Chains A and B, each alone.
Chain A
Amino acid sequence: MVITPIHYIVVPLLAAFAIPLLVKIHKELPRIIPGLVMFYNIIISIVLMQQVNEFGYVSEVIAGWKAPWGINLIITPFSGFLVSLISFMGFVIWLYQYRFKKVIDVGELKSYGILQMMMITGAIGIIITGDIFNMFVFLEIVAITAISLTSFYRHRDGAEAGFKYLLIGGFSSTLILLAILLLYTQVGTLNMAEISERMHLVPQGMKATILVLFIIGFGIEAEMFPLNGWAPDAYSQAPGPTSAAFAGIVVKAGVYGLIRIIFTLFDIEGAFDFLIIAGLVTMIIAEFSALKQTNLKRMLAYSSIGQMGLVMIAFGIGTKAAVFAALFLMFNHAVIKSLLFMSGSILMYNSKDKTISTLSGMGKKLPFISLLFSLGAFAIVGLPPFSGFWSKLYVLTAAANQEMILLIGAILAVSIVEIVYYFRVVSKMYFAEETEHIAIFKPSINAKIAMGILGAIILIIGLYPDLITGYLHNAADMILDKASYIDFVLNSNAPVQ
């Protein structure tokens, strides 16, 4: 069997349909099957990345309809990198959640497995599709599954968070759909490469309107301020693995959408400055808010928003070095923030009322988890020799190359705030006297392995960043090279499968 990009979509979909049937055979199957699918995703990624290295890109024409007529899936170094990251994170998150909540009943387990898998599939779909309407469909899949997962625990807070997400997410879908409609009336095509080619035909005013609609629509998913009100609630109410998936996967897809629109579809200079400003505001407000949180998962959620702000800034700088830095940031954010959510939700689960102040003495009770949380905290604030340092350094270097000294100052000032609230948690965990004795729920071995893998990545990349910088450089080249993207898609004379 030849592995092609369509496997990313088809295999999880088939598995999702099969799970309700397979559960009749054995109760454990709904737990195991998503794992197999995620593992298969990793295999696809490895094979496809090899092909990308060889040919420059891989594209798949679905049902014989060539671009621009049909939907096609394109794997470039950029989308390939993101898809591999998402596949990998998906597998690690599955590993983490495999024994999560043993008591959960089969019906819930079934729906949880399906939803989580579909969310990841949707995110991958957003990234690999070459068709903008198709992208919208996948975005909807992600939104619906994410909203369902947010309110997965059927209690009041979960439902409220889910509703907020639904409300804001509804705006997102509507505006993107509207933007696509307007765009279609202007250029008469839905293929992104062709849109990009014909973009100069669109009048300036209309172009800006469409861009605004897209920015708001994808900005909601990418947690841009002030569109990110849903995020803290959703992150804190969703089950632990889902929060990790939000940080590691969903946001990445949202940012991808934003970047694809701004970098490939439009050629408007002002959009980059807008990204810098929006990112800066997002980052500052989110990090400031994070400092005052009492709930650990909310704190992590705000921190996550802040990090996405930094990613937007890096993309907004727009040079190759900056885009490279932004991709590195995305990678680090996926790994580190997922680790923080994973370990954090175990810590939370064992604390009395889920606040930071009841984390006292966790260092003794859950030494491994606390150590990993601390590792994540050290890495995310950008202390060397952990991986977070390199991405921050590259962002700052990229900003310095453009002589944006105030931007550097702002990023670093915010980093100090970050240090304060993360280190507060760490010192609380290790050095505060245990206030109350609570029976400890020990994490299962597979969760420990999952977190251990992420921790090891943080250390290894921190000590030897060259392992991934090559891929990142290729990806960064690809984003900026709009012409060859169009060429790949429309004049696909290279290997089509």
Chain B
Amino acid sequence: MNLFFIILLILFSSAILAFISNRIVRGSSGIIAFIGITAASILFFTRLSIGNTYSFTLGGIQMQFGLNSFTYLFAIIVLGLGVLASLYSIQYMKGKERLGYFYFNFVLTILGMVGIIFSQDFITFFIFWEIMTWSSYLIVIYNGYSSSKVGIKYMIFSALGAYAMLTAIVSIKGIYGTFMIKDAIAAGAFNFTDHFYIPILLLIGFAVKAALMPLHVWAPKSYSMSPMSFTAIFSGAMSKMGILGMGLVLTSIYSHASPEVSVYSLILKQVLGWLGGITAVMATIYALIQTDAKKLLAYSSIAQLGYIVVGLSTGTKLGVMAALFLAVVHAIFKGTLFMVAGAVERQAGTTDMTKVSGLIRKMPYTFFAALLSIIALAGVPPLGGFVGKWMLYESLITESNNYFLVIVVFFSSTAAFLYSYRFLFGLFLGQEEKETEHVKEAPLTMVIPMLILALLLIVTGLYPGILFEPIAHGMEYLGYSHVNWDMSVLTNIWGEQTNMSYIFSLIGIVFVVVFIFITLKGYKGTRNVGTKEISTSGEIPLEHENLTYQMDFFKPFERAAAPLYKRSMNKIWNDIGNALEAVFNFTRKIYTGNGQTYALFVIIFLVILLIFKDSLFAN
């Protein structure tokens, strides 16, 4: 049997086993899921190599599994994050209900993503895409009926995207006679010549998963409502499936566009770039005002995906490289951050930042992981996030001359500092609250995945070349030639070089010195101050007053940005939904429930047909 099938079969059977085993031994599903995903990953990374393919026929359709260097990059994200998140999940989900159900869908989601990575033809791609979608839908609604509305919204948008994609897929089959992705690209299915709707529909399909404006409205709540061990994958890996598809379509549009249609691809570049930019800005602004850490992270995810889309939309070598680099790094740090939020949720009972604070002493390792990922998220040197953003800015400034977009991205990136700060400060710093006194560090199996990911952030910052190598191979597969990279040196077009290890050691030294200085200086004469010990303007706060640092955080900013919050995309979609409801209600009334009316319908229909019979049924 073929290795592709074996990997998928391992995942499938561990999903089934996880479903059944919880009825036999409570809590065993998590371990089975972990073992299954790990086994599949080991097999994948040791036995499968780039270039392997396997063709088969199903339902009269030629299908092919394969692995190329572009999808390999995403396999690293999916399987790496999958293993760690499933390890994390064992303790995180401990004692919850319906574990069998949860892990069944958890593993199926990963199976779906692995399948997408394997697919070399549109039909298997679509099949696994849908498996991924419905299994993740089932997890979104896991947290009870209150989340079913969120789930339905997710499912509607996913279906919208998936069906846009399916329309494009069957059109490709109808026009070019092939389901193979490679053949379709070679036949020029994506290059706007006469069937411009095909790439557009495909991009819509992928944009939904990548949470791009205006198709992002499902994301904030779906991300924050799912169990955190799943959101780590949901936001970290699954959104990258959208990026995978977009990367595939966009690069083939750009590289195969003939001169006479290049104006369309220029427009597309602008539109996508701006959509990405606006997504980044708006999501950042929304992230700022969240008081729930999970929602903050959810909005931040959308913003980060916006950057990635901006990078992809440039289509230049550097831009795409930046986007792919950011995609990997985002998977790492956002995976970590959602795990951190999950750890806080499990240990402190809530992730509401106005209720929890000062966890740094209670959960030092979690804090460490959070700190590193926040640094990466904000794009501060020396961690991985910096490298990605650096390249993104450089490509926008030097290659696409899109200065306004640079300003937009830069604004959102700066504003991201604010919410990063809020997250870090809200949960971990500030004064300790009485309610959080009992909190302890998360269990070992939850801390280890977070720390591994945090260390990866250091590594990717220090030696970004580790990621550049697979990215460069992937881009060469997509048709870019001579993708240059260095292990730890960034080079710009003017030939100036930035050595990451130099920066890293410099910042490291500064950090250590300052740390020692502050510790020495502040060691004596400091004491812990509780929130209630502060008196403001001579007033002594009441016992029930919430005085955590997070109350009315960024209030002036919120006031200043108030007009921006008024019109949300959500409202527009809701209006569309309501209008449709009205239509449905109207059509329902056609069926009056009255026998005479139905008889009348039959007669009227008969008469109409008889009148128009000659024009309807002419030879």
Contacts and interface: CB of A to CB of B under 8 A. Distances in A.
Interface of A: 160, 163-164, 167-168, 171, 175, 204-205, 207-209, 211-213, 215-216, 220, 226-227, 229-230, 232-233, 267-271, 274, 284-285, 288-289, 291-293, 360, 378, 383-385, 389-390, 393, 396-397, 399-403, 405, 408-409, 412-413, 415-417, 419-420, 423-424, 427-428, 430-433, 464-466, 469
B451 interface: no
A412 B601 contact: no
B598 A208 contact: no
21 contacts: A212-B613, A227-B602, A229-B601, A232-B591, A269-B619, A383-B134, A384-B126, A384-B128, A384-B130, A385-B131, A390-B59, A397-B173, A397-B174, A415-B159, A417-B584, A420-B156, A427-B148, A428-B145, A432-B148, A466-B59, A469-B60
A226 B605 contact: yes
Please provide the 5 A-B residue pairs with the shortest distance between their CB atoms, ordered closest to farther.
A229-B598, A400-B174, A412-B163, A400-B170, A465-B59
Nearest to A395: B170
A408 B197 CA distance: 13
Contacts of B147: 431
B606 interface: yes
A469 B59 contact: yes
A126 B35 CA distance: 56
A167 B601 CA distance: 12
A227 B585 contact: no
Given A288-B584, A393-B59, 14 more contacts: A207-B617, A212-B613, A215-B609, A226-B604, A269-B618, A292-B585, A292-B588, A400-B175, A401-B173, A405-B167, A424-B152, A431-B141, A431-B148, A466-B60
Nearest to A413: B163
A232 B587 CA distance: 14
Interface of B: 57-60, 123, 126-128, 130-131, 134, 137, 141-142, 144-145, 147-148, 151-152, 155-156, 159-160, 163, 166-167, 170-171, 173-175, 197, 583-585, 587-588, 590-591, 593, 595, 597-599, 601-606, 609-610, 613-614, 616-619
B591 A167 contact: no
A465 B63 CA distance: 14
Contacts of B57: 466
Contacts of B159: 415-416, 419
Contact of A403 (B148, B163, B174, B588): B174
Contacts of A270: 616-618
B145 A433 contact: yes
A122 B614 CA distance: 34
A336 B70 CA distance: 39
B598 A427 contact: no
Contacts of A215: 609
Contacts of A216: 602, 605-606, 609
A433 B146 CA distance: 10
A209 B612 CA distance: 10
A383 B595 contact: no
Given A211-B617, A384-B130, A408-B170, A419 B155 contact: yes
Nearest to B128: A384
B167 A412 contact: yes
Contacts of A274: 616-617
Contacts of A268: 617-619
A416 B152 CA distance: 11
Contact of A204 (B167, B171, B591, B619): B619
A383 B618 contact: no
Contacts of B58: 464-466
B617 A432 contact: no
Contacts of A267: 619
Contacts of B127: 384-385, 389
Nearest to A473: B60
Contacts of A293: 588
A292 B60 contact: no
Nearest to A211: B617
B271 to A, nearest CB: 21
A292 B613 contact: no
A400 B170 CA distance: 6
Given A211-B617, A271-B617, A285 B602 contact: no
Contacts of B144: 431, 433
B130 A383 contact: yes
Secondary structure dominating the interface of A: helix
Q: What does DSSP make chain B's interface, helix, strand, loop or mixed?
A: helix
Contacts of A423: 137, 151-152, 155
A212 B612 CA distance: 10
A208 B145 contact: no
A390 B63 CA distance: 14
A465 B60 CA distance: 9
B177 to A, nearest CB: 9
A390 B598 CA distance: 34
B160 A416 contact: yes
Contacts of B605: 216, 226-227
B610 A212 contact: yes
Contacts of B587: 284-285, 288-289
A289 B591 contact: yes
Nearest to A412: B163
B574 to A, nearest CB: 14
Nearest to B149: A427
Contacts of A415: 159, 163
A360 B144 CA distance: 11
Contacts of B166: 393, 396, 412
Nearest to B157: A416
A124 to B, nearest CB: 27
Nearest to A213: B606
A465 B603 CA distance: 42
B595 A164 contact: yes
Contacts of B616: 208, 270, 274
Nearest to B179: A397
A291 B156 CA distance: 14
Contact of B597 (A209, A229, A416): A229
Contacts of A469: 59-60
Given A168-B599, A212-B609, A469-B59, A204 B614 contact: yes
B590 to A, nearest CB: 6
B141 to A, nearest CB: 5
A427 B141 contact: yes
Contacts of B593: 233
B584 A167 contact: no
Nearest to A230: B598
Contacts of A397: 170, 173-174
B167 A209 contact: no
Nearest to B165: A412
Nearest to A305: B591
B417 to A, nearest CB: 39
Contacts of A465: 58-59
B506 to A, nearest CB: 53
Contacts of A405: 167, 171, 197
Nearest to A470: B60
> Considering residues B144, B602, B610, which has the most beta carbons from chain A within 10 angstroms of its beta carbon?
B602
Most chain B CB neighbours (cut-off 10 Å) among A171, A205, A233, A397: A397
- Among B127, B130, B170, the one with the most A-chain Cβ atoms within 10 Å of its Cβ is B170
B581 to A, nearest CB: 8
Nearest to A269: B619
Most buried by A among B156, B170, B591, B617: B617
Contacts of A412: 163, 166-167
Contact of B599 (A167, A292, A403, A420): A167
Contacts of B619: 204, 267-269
Contacts of A175: 606
B156 A419 contact: yes
Contacts of B197: 405
